[in-house]
Amino acid sequence: MNETSPNPKHRFNFLEAAERLGNRPFFLAVQRSLALSLPLVMIGALALLLRDFPLQGGLDQSFGPGWRLICDNLIAGSFGIASLAVLCAFSSSMTLLANQRNPLIMVSPVMTTIVALSCFFIVCAPAETNSWPTFFSMDRGLVTALAVATSATLLYLRLCRVATLRLSLGAVGHDPVVSDVLTVLPAGMVTILVFALIRLLISSAGGADLYDQVRSLLAAPFRESWDHPGMGLVYTGLSQLSWFFGVHGPNILFSVEENILMPAGAANAAALAAGTPPVHIFTKAFFDAFTRMGGSGCTLCLILAILIRGRNDGNRKLCLFALLPALFNVNEPLLFGIPLVLNPVYLFPFLLVPLIQTATAYLATVLDLLPRTIATTSWTTPALLSGYIATGSLAGACMQLVNLAIGTALYFPFVRICDRLRWERGKRVLGVLAHAAESHAVGPNGRKCLDQPGESGRIAKLLAKDLEVALYRDDQLFLVYQPQIDAANNRVCGVEALLRWRHPVFGFIPPPLIIALAEDTAGIGWLGRFILREACVQRIAWRGLVAEDVVISVNVTPRQILEPGFDLDVTAILQEVGMPPQLLELEITESTMLEPDAAALAMLRRLRLSGVRVAIDDFGMGHTSLRYLREFPVDTVKIDRSLTLVVDREVNDPIVRSIVKLNRTLGFNTVVEGIENQEQLEHFLHMGCHMFQGYVFCRPVSGEDCLHYIRRHNGGQGSPASPSVGAATHHA
């Protein structure tokens, strides 16, 4: 490599850096606190929309004036206390994350919330009680609530780790929570006293409270550049950047709206009433109508882009769910669902789209193509209607259509990129889950996949739900079939049915993962019956087209066998489809086999007496002892593919010879799996094996293709075919 070339290991990767930043405890706590407050946002937006709906006369006639009081109460109980809700959610979330990182010092999340609430009231509460609802609300109080929640929580958690501030009381009382609270009691008291000192310093400096100080500080940079285009772009950019990090941008900058944008809108309305032309371009109605359609980031454009060009069914369903609130400019379901917060793929369009829309609407206004905003509209007013009301002209609605088209087109390429990255990331997670499914380790709740931590666990839960749905559909779960060859007679003697799941998002799911998910959700019985019925139906469809001794094999898990009535289920399915029992072989995987259970053994013996064959699959992986061959009613032993590897022939060959010899002695059939090339085939033929399964003959194929292969290989009804055993055509 050229010495001047940068080392790839040291190159800055923005995607990885943003992902690491998003996984920091602070940003996780911010995202979770805003997501947890989502029910308040949704019900508050709905109540606000209803209260400010243009056709209020009809509502008065239908419900009387009392409906307004209900809306006001809903708004006060949702938006009115949302900043407190965010504070509480942030404090508890931050504490839970801290406990995960440092389990030796456990802090009560409730205690942290109580301390943070006390600090908030001490440092922010205004002198006049009638103005208290102001700093509780989502718009006016969010920035101070987050500031106090962050500083108070971090300080308290830090003090909890100081040894001199921890009381060594040992076990106090019978409730461990009491012990935890008393242990960190000094840290809580010190934290509250620190914020009391901060309030004293603010009062000594002449400030009424922290809320007033923050309002003045945020509004100051915008006062001198009221209607300059740069002011609008800076305001839009800061708002979007705040949202990208999970902080409600418009609410953080509410002092700008309150002190600049809302007075500008009022001045325009007053000018119109006085018969003079409105002066100001940038007003609150301007930004609500032309740059926040669907919410900050003009997420209505993103919804349209995903619905038009997106290939991720999960995102499309989320967009359909988020479409209704987005029509009323509530975008939290999308922000935290896709997510947009701290998603580096969407950073560029999330910032660029509102900036371009601000610029186009400003330019249209300067060129007198768009009237200045003259009416105040609720931010929940839907697009097109809000543009018309704000400007008093259809030009406002037309401008919104133009901005929607521009924004949707700008989001298109990033939707494609996000779909691809999500697919690649999902494949990596599937690999982790597939490894967990094939291992013997289980989580704290006895589940292989659903107990996985982090994203793997979340994906596993989603897949488990999708699997339940797939069982009732006919386009995702299906079987493929792989022939088993009797080389001594050069004919197909059996077929193994194999499960496949074509997931609409992740593609083909590994079969071991499907089984593990079904077992984790106690759905293995339903899945097992589905597989058995499909396989038997297929074998009956081949009746008269293949030899009557061609057996179809179906894999079953130990959990299926241990379910009461398993043998009755098998018998019922055989009777339902009209298939003779001797055409079915149940394969039990050795690597997952349980200790021989008396009830399970009795069940297998009953099935075998009825004519159903029993096979041990993947024999030779080291889990099974000779005891299984003695205890289980076995007809066939399938040698695991790990013993067919050429690289380990010196070790594997003696094992295979002993298994073959033992099976002959006990009267079991032996099938060698994983034969993928002619060299392997000839080697095992030389060792005395004659029944094989593998890609050298045929890959797993559909029922129709498998039938063609059997008839071609067996010469119609099973007579020996002329081609050599290894010369069969490969199927995809």
Q: What one-character-per-residue DSSP string does 678-718 give?
A: HHHHHHHHHTT--EEESTTT---B-HHHHHHHHHHHHTSSS
Say how far apart CA 232 and CA 281 lie, in whole Å: 9
Q: Which helix (H) or strand (E) holds 508?
A: strand 507-508
pLDDT (0 to 100) of residue 7:
46
Give the number of C-alpha atoms closer than 13 A to the C-alpha of residue 372, restricted to the C-beta side: 20
Q: Which helix (H) or strand (E) holds 614?
A: strand 613-619
pLDDT (0 to 100) of residue 154:
94
pLDDT band at 24 (very low <50, low <70, confident <90, very high): confident
Does the structure show a pLDDT above 60 at 363?
yes
pLDDT band at 627 (very low <50, low <70, confident <90, very high): low
Task: Say how many C-beta atoms besides its own lie within 10 A of residue 72's C-beta.
Answer: 14
Give the number of C-alpha atoms closer than 13 A to the C-alpha of residue 504, restricted to the C-beta side: 16
pLDDT band at 353 (very low <50, low <70, confident <90, very high): very high
- Mean pLDDT throughout 394-401? 95
170 within 8 A of 137, measured Cβ to Cβ: no
Percent of the residues in the chain that have a pLDDT greater than 70, as a whole number: 83
Prior bond to 339 cis, omega within 30?
A: yes
Structure tokens given for 286? 């301007």
Residue 210: name the closest of 84, 131, 121 by CA: 121
For 592-607, how does the pLDDT look when each residue is reduced to its tens digit (9 = 90+)? 455 556 777 888 889 9
Percent of the residues in the chain that have a pLDDT greater than 90, as a whole number: 33
Say how far apart CA 103 and CA 109 lie, in whole Å: 13
Say how far apart CA 353 and CA 403 lie, in whole Å: 9
For 417-463, how does the pLDDT look when each residue is reduced to its tens digit (9 = 90+)? 888 877 787 888 888 888 888 887 877 777 888 888 877 888 888 89
Say how far apart CA 301 and CA 388 lie, in whole Å: 19
Task: Say how many C-beta atoms besides its own lie within 10 A of residue 368's C-beta.
Answer: 9
Structure tokens given for 714? 């067996």
Residue 610: name the closest of 638, 593, 586 by CA: 586
Say how far apart CA 31 and CA 94 lie, in whole Å: 11
Phi, psi torsion values for 671, nearest 5 degrees: -120, 130
Residue with tokens 């996984």: 23
For 245-287, how does the pLDDT look when each residue is reduced to its tens digit (9 = 90+)? 766 777 777 778 888 888 899 999 999 989 999 999 999 999 9
pLDDT (0 to 100) of residue 1:
41
Say how far apart CA 513 and CA 28 lie, in whole Å: 29
Give the number of C-alpha atoms closer than 13 A to the C-alpha of residue 168, restricted to the C-beta side: 3
* Longest pairwise C-alpha distance within the chain: 108
pLDDT band at 387 (very low <50, low <70, confident <90, very high): very high
Q: How many residues belong to the chain?
A: 732
Q: Which residue has the higher pLDDT, 57 or 444?
A: 444
Q: Which residue has the higher pLDDT, 261 or 633?
A: 261
Q: Which residue has the higher pLDDT, 624 or 77?
A: 77
For 232-244, how does the pLDDT look when each residue is reduced to its tens digit (9 = 90+)? 898 898 888 877 7
Q: Which residue has the higher pLDDT, 717 or 21?
A: 21
pTM above 0.95, yes or no: no
Say how far apart CA 258 and CA 260 lie, in whole Å: 6
Say how far apart CA 469 and CA 489 lie, in whole Å: 44
Give 185's strand partners: none
Q: What is the mean pLDDT of the chain?
A: 82
Say how far apart CA 94 and CA 276 lie, in whole Å: 54
Does the structure show a pLDDT above 80 at 55?
no
Lowest mean pLDDT among 440-444, 503-507, 557-561: 440-444
Phi, psi torsion values for 381, nearest 5 degrees: -65, 130
CA 198 to chain centre: 42
In the chain the domains, ranked by start, together with CATH numbers, are 14-218 (no CATH), 223-421 (no CATH), 456-721 (3.20.20.450)
Structure tokens given for 437? 């499914």
Residue 294: name the closest of 243, 342, 245, 254 by CA: 243
Say how far apart CA 730 and CA 732 lie, in whole Å: 7
- Mean pLDDT throughout 716-729? 39
Residue with tokens 């959700």: 521
Give 617's strand partners: 589
645 within 8 A of 679, measured Cβ to Cβ: no
For 92-113, how does the pLDDT look when each residue is reduced to its tens digit (9 = 90+)? 999 998 888 887 778 889 999 9
For 640-650, how does the pLDDT look when each residue is reduced to its tens digit (9 = 90+)? 777 776 556 67
pLDDT (0 to 100) of residue 680:
86
